[in-house]
Amino acid sequence: MAPRIAELASIISANTAKIDDHLNANGFNEISFDENAGDVLSGPGLAAARQAVLEATDELHALMLGPAGILTTPSHNFLISLQAIYKFGLATSFPADREEATFADIASDSGLPESYVRRILRHAMTYRVFCEPMKGVVAHTAASRYLAENTLIRQWIGMVSEEMWPAAVKTVEAMMVWPASQEPNHSGFNIAHDTEDHVFTELSKHPERESRYAAAMSWFATGPGLEPSYVVESFPSVDSPDALIVDVGGSYGGISIALAQEYTSVTCVVQDKSDVVRIGRERLSHDLRNRVSFMEHDFFSTQPTRGADVYLLRWILHDWSDKYAAQILRALIPALKKSARVVLYEMIVPDLGEVSLYQERGIRQVY
């Protein structure tokens, strides 16, 4: 039997060959860190091979690190650099179509001392965010160019580094202060941000933070497996050709819009907070306004739209403890007709051995 490291090397070799053949056959660029390389691996035709390579390289990397390396490699320092890049606009300090800038140029643009800029960016470069083609000169890599050109990914990094990261640091402390609590305002977020309010209530008091969170979630929703097309393709059939779908906590209506475009006879009601509803209405295209509407509603309150065919909750319940998830579902009961369906789209935590540790890690860090 071949040693495990040889098996992993074989898996990596076989699947990178599949990826290379696919790229060549479809005229795509070679995979590289070059700023013009783009994301050529996002196509569905590469999903299985890409996943196999990621899983095998993850395991091989852990084997090469050894026990001490596994325990000491995770680092907060990259988040420090990313937060500084976000906060001081370092990725946008020179346009992506401009080939390079000096550390002094970037310092002048950002208002930071040049020594800070040099230290921050040279650390980010070790993660292949920016590069230094010659001493003292900074150029974009594919990652830093993506950061420079994509507003939503910048908002994601800002939200992670300034909302989620400080909360994560205080999670264990919250477990000690409020042992076994299911209350939404007994969390690391409350300690980190010195508030007695639940995270969504606290963010709503600060429009710039709430807007950043919404933008960050918009970017997150474009990730593999989270696109609206997955909901559309797997959506359960309904008996009525003129079905009414209530999208509970549906944000700006992205899922309902996708459903209405695919199923031209359905009508969708998107429910969310007042500010979200207002923006959703403003963004909705005129051709869908007779079939997609918005309604202000708190999903802990009794469901006001009665007799719908489907009540959809996508990525809602995982934000709440069991106690409050049950309240959200219980609030639907008075509105349900006999044939109604309650459809939940959530990530399911796998049982032991069902998926690779690499896949399981991504799921458990969400839950």
C-alpha span between 196 and 183 (Å, rounded): 11
pLDDT at 366: 62
Catalytic site includes residue 297: no
8 Å CB contact between 175 and 195: no
Q: How many CA atoms lie within 13 A of 283 on its CB side?
A: 12
C-alpha span between 48 and 224 (Å, rounded): 12
pLDDT at 243: 93
C-alpha span between 243 and 233 (Å, rounded): 17
pLDDT at 44: 63
- Series of mean pLDDT values for 10-residue runs along the chain (367 residues): 89 93 82 76 77 93 88 82 94 78 94 96 93 94 90 93 95 96 96 96 92 87 78 82 93 93 94 91 94 97 97 94 97 96 91 88 76
Catalytic residue among 186, 206, 286, 318: 318
pLDDT at 352: 86
pLDDT at 43: 63
| CA triple 111-113-116, angle to 5 deg | 115
C-alpha span between 288 and 267 (Å, rounded): 9
Q: Which amino acid is at 215?
A: A
pLDDT at 233: 86
pLDDT at 290: 95
C-alpha span between 50 and 30 (Å, rounded): 14
Domains of the chain (ranges, CATH numbers) = 4-72 (no CATH), 77-149 (1.10.10.10), 151-220 (no CATH), 228-345 (3.40.50.150)
- Paired with 269 in beta bridges are 246, 293
Residue among 130, 157, 126, 156 at smallest CA distance from 143: 130
Each residue's pLDDT tens digit, 255-305: 999 999 999 889 999 999 888 899 999 999 999 999 999 999 999 999 999
pLDDT at 75: 77
DSSP letter for each residue of 40-74: TT-SGGGHHHHHHHHHHHHHHHHHHHHHHHHHH--
- The structure's pTM equals 0.84
pLDDT at 2: 75
